[in-house]
Amino acid sequence: MHTDLVAALDIGGTKIAGALVDGHGSILVRAQRATPAQKDGDTVMRAVEEVLGELIASPLWGRVTALGIGSAGPVDASTGTVSPVNVPGWRGYPLVERARAVVGGLPVRLIGDGVAIAAAEHWQGAARGHDNALCMVVSTGVGGGLILGGRLHPGPTGNAGHIGHISVDLDGDPCPCGSRGCVERIASGPSIARRALADGWRPGPDGDTSAAAVAAAARAGDPAALASFERAARALAAGIAATAALVEIDIAVIGGGVGKAGDILLAPLRKALADYATLSFARHLTVVPARTGTDAGLVGAAAAVLTARMDATAGV
């Protein structure tokens, strides 16, 4: 029996990945190009077209019913345009219109990359079975997405769940976004490394100053490294607690490179969450590591179109 497939694109500052995905979340066909991030907008689009071209060339293409796109943000689902911070050639770029022309008029849905990760974790990962969840990526930046009432909550423009840029320290350090004391400014990998260095941590002979190196030092007991992870944990906890107070969530899922630091991050995070998530309806909140891997962006983009169709069907 031939069941429907969807096409998925995961567009980031480094690579453009594409896939055909079935209703179980299995990836049947893959394509990928490096993102020509410093080139003009149409050159970037040609890389997208090449990825889509490989998918279209598959004998399975005839079963594809829709295209889901998860893109580095900000995106604007209401206009079908994208303006990824790391792709300067795309500013208000009409990605949805261009992609739709390539795929012969199939329905296309655009969401932010954090929203896509949330869709993947809800469908296949640690948020499965949870109707109200925050899924985060803690890495070079801090992103996220929300599941509310059992459904993906992309918001009108596809950017909801932007926990990296909520201020948890209104007098804090300026953030490149223009605000102050943002979660990302305190808890991203580069922020963790910068603070550890400023407080006296020194890298080993390999000169590695990544957050992973700080995590290794913290595991070995380095006080500045430990303090920097604790500070990041407090910022994440305040952000997660704010989310719980605002929309009621019962689980927060942490992925991304810094999320992989494990208990060096999660232990102080759970402790700090007890300090900040004090309201009766927020106290049961749990924090767990993400379960989806490097394909989360693709799987999530597929989930966004598969669940949109399920929602539409349920609404008839």
Among 13, 155, 190, 203, binds a second copy (CB under 8 A): 155
Residue 116 binds a second copy (CB under 8 A): no
Distance CA 300, CA 69 (A): 9
Secondary structure of 3-72 in the HEC alphabet? CCEEEEEEECCCEEEEEEEECCCCEEEEEEEECCCCCCHHHHHHHHHHHHHHHHCCCCHHHEEEEEEEEC
Residue 103 binds a second copy (CB under 8 A): no
Among 8, 17, 110, 242, binds a second copy (CB under 8 A): 242
Q: Could you please report the per-residue DSSP string of 176-244?
A: TTSSBSBHHHHHSHHHHHHHHHHTT----TT---SHHHHHHHHHTT-HHHHHHHHHHHHHHHHHHHHHH
The least CB distance from residue 167 to a second copy, in Å, is: 5
Among 22, 50, 54, 169, binds a second copy (CB under 8 A): 169
Residue 227 binds a second copy (CB under 8 A): no
Residue 188 near residue 179 (C-beta atoms within 8 A): no
Among 109, 162, 185, 195, binds a second copy (CB under 8 A): 162
Among 64, 127, 234, 300, binds a second copy (CB under 8 A): 234
Segment near a second copy (CB under 8 A); pick from 25-33, 58-66, 155-163, 257-265: 155-163
Q: In what order do the strands lie in the sheet containing 64-71?
A: 27-34, 15-22, 5-11, 64-71, 108-112
The number of CA neighbours under 13 Å toward the Cβ of 58 is: 24
The least CB distance from residue 228 to a second copy, in Å, is: 15
Residue 275 binds a second copy (CB under 8 A): yes
In this structure, the chain runs to a length of 316
Pairing of strands 27-34, 15-22: antiparallel
Cβ nearer to a second copy, comparing 27 with 247: 247
Cβ nearer to a second copy, comparing 217 with 240: 240
Distance CA 93, CA 281 (A): 42
Cβ nearer to a second copy, comparing 34 with 170: 170
Residue 197 binds a second copy (CB under 8 A): no
Residue 186 near residue 168 (C-beta atoms within 8 A): yes
Residue 278 binds a second copy (CB under 8 A): yes
The least CB distance from residue 39 to a second copy, in Å, is: 22
Residue 276 binds a second copy (CB under 8 A): yes
Total residues at interface with a second copy (CB under 8 A): 47
Distance CA 32, CA 48 (A): 9
Among 60, 103, 106, 177, binds a second copy (CB under 8 A): 177
The least CB distance from residue 104 to a second copy, in Å, is: 30
Residue 134 near residue 146 (C-beta atoms within 8 A): yes
Segment near a second copy (CB under 8 A); pick from 3-11, 48-56, 197-205, 279-287: 279-287
Residues that bind a second copy (CB under 8 A): 74, 76, 83, 131-132, 146, 148-149, 153, 155-157, 159-163, 165-171, 177-180, 234-235, 238, 241-243, 245-248, 250, 275-281, 315
